[in-house]
Amino acid sequence: MEFHVPTTAAEWADFSATPLEEPQQIELNRLLADCREAHESVNEPLITDAFKLAFHSHKGTLRASGEPYYHHPLEVATIVAKELGMDSECVAAALLHDTVEDTSVSLETIALHFGPLVTMFIDGLTKISGVFKSKDAKQAEAFMKLMLSTAEDVRVVVIKFADRLHNMRTLHHLPRHKQLGIANETLELFAPLAHRFGLFKLKSELEDLSFKVLDPNGYKFIARKLRERKESREQFIDDFMDPIRGQLHKAGFNFEIKGRPKHIYSIYRKMVGQQKPFEEVYDLFAIRIILHPPHTKEDCWRVYSFITDAYTPIPERFRDFISVPKTNGYQSLHTTVISRSGVKVEVQIRTQQMDEIAEKGVAAHWKYKQGTGGNASIDRFVHFVRDALSNPRTDAATDFVEDFKLELFSDEIYVFTPKGELKTLPKGATPIDFAFEIHSAVGEKALAAKVNGKIVPLRTPLVSGDQVEIITGKNVNLNPDWIHDVVTHKAKSRIRQLVNLKERKLIDEGKDLWQKRADRDKLEISDQDLTKVASKLRFSSTNRLFMEIATGHFDVAQLAKAVKQFISRGRLDDEKRAAAATMDEETLQENLLADARNVGDSRGLFINGQLTDVKYSYARCCNPIPGDDVMGFLSRLGDVKIHRSRCNNAAYLVRTEPERIVDVAWPKAPTAQYMGAIRIIGEDRVGMVSDITHVISNSMKTNMKSINVSSDEGTFEGTLMVYVEDRGHLDRLIKKLQKVEGVRQAYRFE
Ligand code: MN
């Protein structure tokens, strides 16, 4: 019968109340006992319900060993509790770590009953389960960073290690080729990561289990040698310790003695690395004396003196890592002495807490060249992980971990392909970046993106841990605006390239359209002249013109018309050309200045709200008229120059001489007349000037000071100087002029 996952609080109450069968109850009791061993306070209902849910949801599934599947999460939970000493939420998460991925249990269900912390752990575990799917060991650094940046809480990663450890312990049930793959991955990826996390014991076991699979003969050789040496070795340690042991007991010390850990893979690595036979590697004796609580670091020194009393120390081999701990927090006293048989023996002395840190703490070999957080954040991280792992009983340490959100490597994000492949992108990257990262063809044809199963706009910024799928169309769907939505160089350069290509295509199309039209109308024009026509038509280039034609924004017939006019203008004689009076801008400015001087300087001016008789004039650079937003500038001669507020010169004065800026208001003199300049651009047609003057003089009853026009190759350009009352007057005038036939642009000349 299919297991019904409880979804409501009522169903949960029922589910929790239903007892387990006896064999499972025994298993659960054993786990709870392990938890109580490691922690003073254990959330038994939480662990019990997690166990029940794991048991029921995995029911019917078997492991490769033939065991029921739930034995795996149970074993992982046991490692988490017993070997790593982690808290109840971690144990519950370990029990449930495969449910969301492999069973009908959803994360929502877990959130409903197990609370946010367990939910976050399981979510993290589910997210990073894809991390290790790649076989590319070169990505180890990226994996490491991914684990740190997505896991949010370092405990997620530690549970992940426990998961792998149990899989390694049961690896022999899998077919040989699968064993090799997993062992390789463990050795290349997990073990180095565990090392960096300072999980030395776990790392050593992972290495040995991998080595056993990858090099069974090498493993057997070293294991046999160790067995052969075991007795003589233990005998040696016994003999060596004998004089010291008695002293320590007499002095009331509570301690234990450990020999060198029998870490097969490290012996192998030394043999290979140092090209030494087993005996030479192995016979570097090391003995560890661990002082149980309540012994303190001061007691380590007392033990040290007992040892150096009994044996001759080699002074240069002395290390005090207690007063000066290693950067990873490692603390211990190391001394090397000569045994009675003349063998060098390294003795390490430390308290139990120091020993725990050394085995379970986090090492600080994190020397990322490109890490942004710098050593400070890594140190901080190492510090509290070490705290949390070595001292799980203190609530403070637990809170510290809970509050912690990893801020390392914040300039990079790590996202997945649908197949679980990892991609590293800069922070701020969007699905467009991701698409181009996969392949430029994917980027070009991207239509939409699915992030964690949901369709999102392509420009949505991604965050670490997102699984991203790009939905592509058959055709290139590139949007030039994407250039603003990407951060990777790859995407940027490719988008630019493609935009250029696209433009090139449009240009060719537009050129084609024009060529056909020109052939039909029998128009012949050189490229150079066509450029002139394009510029008369206000296009920045012929390419731009062709593009507008191709996209239908500009009618090719209009171009034909302009070209015809251009060709006919070419026949005009030079005389007419000269007759079209041209006035360069400098001359115009001079006129404006002269006019400005003549107008308005005798009227009262309001400065800072006060009517004054200060002399003033209008700045020639911006030629203000009533209605304009203005400001005054007090000149050194004591008069005021009035600028429009938006004038560039005014802005400069505000920045450089703010103390000379005065607040001015326009005097309310109804008869005042101000000089306004209007620029007109349009077709050069017969009667244009008379139409313009008619609008100004007759229709608007405005006095015109001057009109200067130039016409060249079918285009008319004119500048009008008119007397206006205020800005509204000028605006109305411009509006009227814009309606004159053939006028393309009429605007205030500034
Ligand atoms: Mn698992």
Q: 73: CA distance to ligand 1 center in Å? A: 6
Q: Which of 352, 368, 384 is the last residue of a domain?
A: 368
Domain of 737, CATH number, reads: 3.30.70.260
Residue 99 CA to ligand 1 center (angstroms) comes to: 9
Residue ending a domain, among 193, 221, 249, is: 221
State the CB neighbour count (10 A cutoff) for residue 86.
Answer: 27
At which of 328, 350, 368 does a domain end?
A: 368
Three-state helix/strand/coil letters over 48-90? HHHHHHHHHHCCCCECCCCCECCHHHHHHHHHHHHHCCCCHHH
Is 520 a member of any domain?
A: yes
Q: Which residue has the tokens 């560039």?
A: 648
pLDDT of residue 599: 41
Find the 607 Cα to ligand 1 centroid distance in Å: 81
What is the token pair recorded at 236? Answer: 């040696």
Same structural domain for residues 167 and 309? no
Question: What separation in Å is there between the alpha carbon of 454 and the centre of ligand 1?
Answer: 26
State the CATH number of the domain containing residue 129. 1.10.3210.10
Q: How many domains does the chain have?
A: 5
Same domain, 172 and 321: no
Instruction: Looking at the structure, tell me whether residues 682 and 660 fall in a common domain.
Output: no
The answer to whether the CB of 359 falls within 8 A of the CB of 339 is no
Q: How far is the CA of 395 from the centre of ligand 1 (A)?
A: 28
**For residue 403, how far is its CA from the centre of ligand 1 (angstroms)?**
26
Residues 163 and 24 in one domain: yes
Query: Ligand 1 centroid to 307 CA: how many Å?
Result: 47
Answer for the pair 73, 54: CB distance below 8 angstroms, yes or no. Answer: yes
Considering the domain boundaries, does residue 303 fall inside one?
A: yes
Ligand 1 centroid, distance to 61 Cα (angstroms): 13
| CA 121 – ligand 1 centroid, Å | 13
Half-sphere exposure (Cβ direction) of 427: Cα atoms closer than 13 Å: 8
**475: in domain:** no
The Å distance, Cα 125 to ligand 1 centre, comes to: 9
- Residues 706 and 658 occupy one common structural domain: no
Q: What is the DSSP letter of 287?
A: E
Measured in whole angstroms, the distance separating CA 378 from the mean position of its chain's CA atoms is 18
Report if residue 478 sits inside a domain. Answer: no
Q: Is residue 471 assigned to a domain?
A: no
pLDDT, tens digit, for every residue of 713-734?
778 888 888 888 778 888 888 8
How do residues 29-48 score in pLDDT, each as one tens digit? 999 999 998 777 899 999 99
How far, in Å, is the centroid of ligand 1 from the Cα of 58?
Answer: 12
Range of the domain at 61: 9-221
pLDDT for position 576: 46
**489 in a structural domain:** no
Q: How many other C-beta atoms are found inside a 10 Å radius of the C-beta of residue 130?
A: 19
CATH code for the domain in which residue 257 is found = 3.30.460.10
Are 614 and 678 members of one domain? no
Q: Give yes or no: residues 206 and 282 share one domain.
A: no
What is the 465 CA–ligand 1 centroid distance (Å)? 19
Find the 163 Cα to ligand 1 centroid distance in Å: 5
Residue with tokens 């020397």: 367
Q: Ligand 1 centroid vs 364 CA: distance in angstroms?
A: 28
Residue 92 has a pLDDT of 96
Position 460 in a domain: no
Does residue 410 lie within any of the structural domains? no
pLDDT at position 74 is: 97
State how far the Cα of 554 lies from the Cα of 447, in Å rounded to an integer.
29
What confidence score (pLDDT) does residue 533 get?
87
CA 109 / ligand 1 centre spacing (Å):
19
pLDDT score for 343: 79
Are residues 645 and 735 part of one domain? no
Q: Which residues of the chain have pLDDT under 70?
A: 1-2, 130-153, 196-198, 260-262, 282-284, 325-329, 357, 359-412, 420, 570-605, 608-613, 636-637, 655-656, 666-673, 750
Distances (CA, A) of 487 to 345, 411, 434, 450, 720: 58, 12, 10, 19, 49
720 to each of 529, 593, 702, 705, 728, how far by Cα in Å?
Answer: 29, 15, 12, 8, 17
**256 and 353 co-located in one domain:** yes
Helix (H, G, I), strand (E, B) or coil at 488: coil
Same domain, 202 and 72: yes
Q: What is the pLDDT of residue 497?
A: 80
Q: What letter does residue 467 receive in the DSSP assignment? A: B
- Helix, strand, coil shares, percent, the chain, to 5: 55, 15, 30
The residue to which tokens 């400069």 are assigned: 652
Q: Which sequence positions are flagged as catalytic?
A: 101-102
Element (H, E) at 37: helix 22-38
> Do 617 and 551 fall into the same domain?
no
Question: Do 532 and 589 fall into the same domain?
Answer: no
Q: Which of 451-458's residues contact partners 24+ apart within 8 Å by CB, and which partners? A: 456/431, 458/430, 458/431, 458/432, 458/482, 458/485
Whole-number Å distance, alpha carbon 484 to ligand 1 midpoint, is 42
Both tokens assigned to 457: 């706009």
